[in-house]
Amino acid sequence: MKFNNPVIKGFYPDPSVCKVNDTYYMVCSSFQFFPGVPIFESKDLINWAQIGHCLTRKSQIELETVGSSGGVFAPTIRHNNGRFYMTTTNDTLRQNFYVWTDDIYGEWSEPVFVDQGGIDPDLYFEDGRTFFMSNGVDDFGKGGIVQCEIEIETGRKLSPSRSIWAGTGGRYLESPHMYKINGLYYLMAAEGGTEYGHMITYARSESLTGPFEPYAHNPVLTNRNLGGYELQGVGHGDLVQDGAGNWWIFHLGFRQIGRWLTFHHLGREVFLAPVTFGEDGWFTAGHDGTTLISIETDRIPETVVQREKKQYTFGNTDWNLDWARLRHPVEGNYRLDADKVTLQGTLVTLDAPATPTFIGLRQRDFDAVISCDVSLDWSNKEGEAGLTIYMDENHHYDLALRKTAAGYQVIERLNIGDIKSVEREIALSDDAHEATLVIKSEHERYSFFLRSGSEDILLGSAQTRYLSSEVAGGFTGVLIGLYAVGEDASAEFTNFNCEYL
């Protein structure tokens, strides 16, 4: 069959996967967004459905002081003796921890902390023992992939943390994962930074603690030399074996906006590539060591059909699964109904590294039309509510219905670093306190409209590149958000529709 990458679109970076019976489970990073660490499941490796989050309570993760692209870094999911474990890092607080559950569809435990530094932690289970790995500096001052044995019930260290592999010399060694395959220990990692030089490398050993011999042809997977190819930034992978014995690697990557336009704003997404072990026990990955957008394979039955959702509405999305909020939201500011949303504004704006009244969907593809009806009736109050294309507090484009002392108006505002500019205002009649807002998204540009009857009135447009990671920095991607700003003032959103073209 033929499948297309990414298999999960939009800002879902750092995938980790495990298989239990006939089902695959995946987790991804969530950074400053809440709930934390989305969980997906699949029966066929290609079609994934979100089933929950690992971090759903404030007691599990501190996000109040987290800046953009801080907070919850790369998670790992593993299954042992009937129990699921997810280990991750609160990078802002420099804390590695794990949570567990016996019911993948239910709640997860309170965090269990491990006194080992670094990020991108991994758990490896063998013969009743548990080993914890991360990238960082060990107890003796040596950097690399650091390993210790822990007591799984408490997180207490049972051995010193020791560096067991320093990688192949690429910068930003990260994402360690350990596997035992055919009697050998394979240690896989990422190097080069989660940018255009990203790559996956690995080494193997006869011992869990090394020494590790690197694969002679590292990197085993990278798109760093595919100039002009849509898919870039390939790295940070996790291996899984399917029911037929085939091996696969799930990894992150990103799609740049044009062949020669090296900008990406949708975030790092989930990609899949085949892995093949040779007779010598070393493995290769992808197509000549690269991942392609379209892959032909006989490893997946022809009966498997890749499905893709093209339309997102209030009615066909789940508030608890598909939508995300910032840091620790004030629950009383949100009334989430089946066909509408009522948001209670505060004085916190989208420009603050704090907790505005905001709820958003990850943007999953370049070309889309987004529309929503927004209603205000604030009498003497001032403020605004509307749609935002949100990367972070310094990089977002807003299309809003605003109430001032002069009356109601629709505005287009661009926020690019230190430049914050209302590009156009359209005044509404004195009794008009509602508007239909429309955003048309393309690879290189967003365009902003006020719908009046059958006519869409253009307010302006802005380039997508200024919301890209190359401009904004950080590790997240664009969300399509609904927001409200204004003290004790509410806004109602109805008829939301996001349709990918």
Catalytic residues: 14, 174
- Which run of H or of E encompasses 238? strand 231-241
Task: Tell me if 487 sits within 8 A of 381, measured CB to CB.
Answer: yes
Closest CA to 78 of 166, 210, 180, 202: 180
Q: Using CA atoms, how far apart are residues 440 and 447, in angstroms rounded to an integer? A: 5
The residues pairing with 122 across neighbouring beta strands, listed in sequence order, are 133
Closest CA to 383 of 487, 264, 237: 487
Q: Using CA atoms, how far apart are residues 221 and 232, in angstroms rounded to an integer? A: 11
Task: Tell me if 17 sits within 8 A of 26, measured CB to CB.
Answer: yes
Q: Using CA atoms, how far apart are residues 176 and 190, in angstroms rounded to an integer? A: 7
The DSSP code sequence of 73-102 is: ---EEEEETTEEEEEEEETTTTEEEEEEES
Q: Using CA atoms, how far apart are residues 250 and 235, in angstroms rounded to an integer? A: 9
Backbone CA torsion sign across 405, 406, 407, 412: negative
Report the greatest alpha carbon distance in the chain. 77
- Which run of H or of E encompasses 398? strand 395-404
Residues in the chain, overall count: 501
Q: Which residue has the tokens 């504004």?
A: 345
Task: Tell me if 345 sits within 8 A of 357, measured CB to CB.
Answer: yes
Closest CA to 387 of 446, 317, 463, 457: 446
Alpha-carbon torsion, ordered 131, 133, 138, 144, to 10 deg:
140
- Which run of H or of E encompasses 472? helix 469-472
Amino acid of residue 119: I
